[in-house]
């Protein structure tokens, strides 16, 4: 797997939580969890211990948060879109945000008979499906744009939720701008996007807070099973909103003993790693050709960028075989461990961890991260087989071999 991993150590200049991190403190996230718990079909997703794989890697513990069952949508993304949509509708109806529940909000929508809003977004698939699902739950509309090369299976899954959706002839970042322009041209249009920029910050913040439900569940489950907190967390990044949410929450929850976070990107779209190396936000141009569709984003979001630069110690970008390796490791586990169906973007953290612990060429990375027999690692499988055909080609047919 030579040259499959490029990584950079980062020495944060600020160790205290930034103001953006404070938006992910326990009080905010508890309110978010209360909302998600009120949604029909809510169940915490499983945190799965891989004891035998941890022993094989000579680390103390390894747990994987399996998001493939989240609201039946096969990915975590719905947590962000649903909360952002709910907060927008609540403000429109003058509902107290901290008291927000599904029944309360839906009842008020029906009672006041507001004109339906059309929520616009750009997506590789998972975010758009979550937005479409949430819009349908609240009797609103959704229009979704997907970048060139997007999976037909993911497109059809979005349409099945009642949204209008199409694939446009542009990359993800341009699709975001197109969705923004379309929302502005529609008097009832609202953009629901996790990418933030100057002047567009409120909704992306709510999306990041929505993701907080997942990492809060994971930490509760980790502590219950292991009787201690994680020492290391591997989290994948596209524009960085999930990674920023995880890093910000961990800083608040564990203060001075926050786990060491490694942010993992696709090499074809590693805007965060390149930005860290250059000391300023850098855009990765082009079509971002990678099987990790959920990470194929070439421009970092402003809010998580501030959080990650203030606290994250390691940024890594990987080639597609690392993600495929993680998919196969999780699908065909060591005897005694449970199998996990994890998609291309979901498995990359595990793929990188296993590579670090088994590949002599990554010994310096292993040493820098201080991964050893005392390490207790949390990885997040953000999606299941959201493109079943691609999943089978990789796991069954051996596409993108690691060696």
Residues with Cβ < 8 Å from 35, sequence gap 6 or more? 83, 86, 100, 101, 102
Distance, in Å, from the CA atom of 159 to the CA atom of 153, rounded to the nearest integer, reads 10
pLDDT value of residue 14: 53
Query: Distance between CA 183 and CA 245 in Å, rounded?
Result: 26
Residue 13: its pLDDT value, please? 64
Q: What is the spatial distance between Cα 155 and Cα 35, in angstroms, rounded to a whole number?
A: 28
Same domain assignment for residues 377 and 281: yes
Residue 103 counted as domain residue: yes
**Residue pair 74/160 in contact by the 8 Å Cβ criterion:** no
Q: Which of 161, 177, 203 is the last residue of a domain?
A: 203
Last residue of a domain, one of 203, 224, 253: 203
Contact in structure between 291 and 344 (CB atoms under 8 Å): yes
Does 178 reside within a domain?
yes
Relative to beta strand 164-167, strand 61-66 is unpaired
Check residue 345 and report its DSSP letter: T
| 289 and 170 together in one domain | no
By residue range, what is the domain housing residue 183? 78-203
Query: What CATH number does the domain containing 112 carry?
Result: 3.40.50.1100
Residue ending a domain, choose from 156, 188, 203: 203
254 and 138 in a single domain? The answer is: no
pLDDT of residue 1: 53
Residue 401 lies in a domain: no
Catalytic residues: 77, 124
| Token reading at 220 | 């509760």
To which H or E segment does residue 108 belong? helix 102-112
Task: Indicate whether 276 belongs to any domain.
Answer: yes
C-alpha distances (whole Å) from 146 to each of 293, 319, 320 are 11, 23, 21
Average pLDDT by consecutive 10-residue portion of the chain (403 residues)? 86 64 87 96 98 98 98 98 97 84 92 89 97 97 97 97 97 97 98 96 97 98 97 97 96 91 97 93 92 95 93 96 98 98 98 97 98 98 97 97 82
Tell whether the torsion through CA atoms of 305, 311, 317 and 320 is positive or negative.
negative
**φ/ψ bin of 169: left (φ > 0), alpha (ψ from -120 to 50), beta (otherwise):** beta
403: in domain: no
Please tell me whether residues 389 and 243 are part of one structural domain. yes
Domain for residue 346, yes or no?
yes
pLDDT on residue 16: 47
DSSP string, 242-284: HHHHHHHHHHHHHGGGPPEEEEEEEGGG-HHHHHHHHTS--PP
**Do 248 and 302 belong together in one domain?**
yes
Beta strand 141-146 with 118-122 is parallel
Query: Number of folded domains in the chain?
Result: 2
Beta bridge mates, 118: 141, 189
Q: pTM value?
A: 0.96
CA–CA gap between residue 260 and residue 84 (Å, rounded): 28
CA distance 234 to 264: 7
- Same domain for 224 and 355: yes
Looking at residue 402, its pLDDT comes to 83
């Amino acid at each position: 797997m030579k040259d499959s991993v490029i990584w950079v150590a980062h020495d944060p200049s600020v160790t205290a939580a930034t103001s953006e991190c404070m938006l992910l403190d326990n009080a905010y996230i508890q309110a978010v969890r209360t909302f998600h718990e009120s949604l029909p079909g809510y169940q915490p997703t499983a945190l799965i211990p891989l004891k035998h794989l941890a022993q094989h890697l000579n680390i103390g513990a390894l747990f994987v948060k399996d998001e493939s069952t989240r609201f039946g949508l096969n990915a975590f993304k719905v947590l962000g879109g649903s909360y952002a949509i709910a907060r927008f509708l609540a403000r429109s109806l003058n509902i107290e945000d901290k008291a927000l529940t599904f029944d309360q909000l839906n009842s008020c929508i029906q009672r006041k008979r507001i004109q339906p809003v059309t929520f616009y977004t750009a997506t590789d698939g998972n975010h758009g499906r979550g937005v479409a699902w949430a819009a349908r739950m609240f009797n609103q509309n959704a229009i979704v744009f997907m970048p060139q090369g997007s999976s037909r299976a993911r497109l059809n899954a979005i349409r099945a939720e009642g949204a209008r959706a199409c694939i446009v002839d542009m990359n993800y970042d341009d699709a975001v701008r197109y969705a923004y322009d379309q929302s502005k041209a529609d008097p009832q249009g609202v953009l629901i996007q996790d990418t933030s920029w100057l002047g567009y910050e409120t909704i992306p913040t709510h999306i990041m807070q929505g993701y907080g439900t997942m990492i809060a569940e994971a930490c509760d489950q980790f502590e219950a099973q292991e009787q201690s907190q994680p020492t290391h967390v591997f989290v994948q990044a596209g524009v960085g909103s999930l990674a920023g949410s995880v890093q910000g929450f961990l800083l608040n929850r564990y203060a001075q003993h926050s786990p060491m976070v490694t942010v993992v990107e696709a090499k074809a779209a590693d805007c965060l790693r390149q930005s860290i190396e250059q000391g300023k936000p850098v855009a990765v141009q082009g079509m971002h050709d990678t099987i990790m569709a959920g990470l194929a984003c070439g421009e970092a979001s402003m809010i998580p960028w501030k959080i990650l630069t203030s606290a994250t110690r390691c940024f890594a970008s990987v080639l597609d075989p690392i993600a495929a390796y993680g998919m196969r490791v999780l699908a065909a586990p060591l005897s005694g461990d449970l199998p996990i169906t994890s998609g291309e973007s979901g498995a990359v953290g595990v793929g990188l961890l296993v590579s670090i612990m088994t590949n002599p060429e990554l010994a310096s990375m292993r040493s820098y991260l201080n991964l050893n027999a005392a390490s207790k690692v949390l990885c997040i499988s953000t999606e299941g087989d959201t493109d079943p055909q691609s999943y089978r080609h990789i796991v069954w047919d051996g596409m993108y071999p690691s060696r």
